[in-house]
Structure 1
Amino acid sequence: MNDAFEDLFSPAFLEAARDYLWLLDRGYPEGDVARLVGNRFRLSRDQRMILYRGVLPSSVSKAHREKQVPLVRILERGSLLVDGYNILLTLLTYRLGRPVFLSTDGFLRDIGGIHGHIHHVKILEEVVEALFSFFEAELPGVGIHILLDRPVSHSGDLASALQRRFDVRGLAGEVSVCDSADYELKRAGVLIATSDSAVLSRVGEAFDLAFHVLSCRYHPRKLPDLGRLLSPERKGPSS
Structure 2
Amino acid sequence: MEFILVMMIIDSMTKEYFKFLNKYLATFDGSADDADAIGAAKEEAAAAIIEFVKSSDLYQCDLLDMPAVAQLEKDEKYQPVYELLKIFLTQRLESYLAFQTANSTLLQGYGLVHEECITKMRLMSLLDLSGHCSGEIPYSAITKALEINDDEVEYWIVKAISSKILDCKVDQLNQLVIVSRHTARVFGMPQWQSLRSKLGVWRGNIANAINTIQANKVTEDGGQGMQGLMIR
Common fold by TM > 0.5: no
Which TM-score band (shorter chain)?
Answer: under 0.3
Larger strand proportion of the pair: 1
Query: Relative to total residues, which structure has the larger helix share, 1 or 2?
Result: 2
TM-score by length of 2: 0.28
TM-score, normalised relative to structure 1: 0.27
Structure ranking higher on relative contact order (CA contacts 8 Å, 6+ apart): 1
Of structures 1 and 2, the larger Rg is shown by: 2
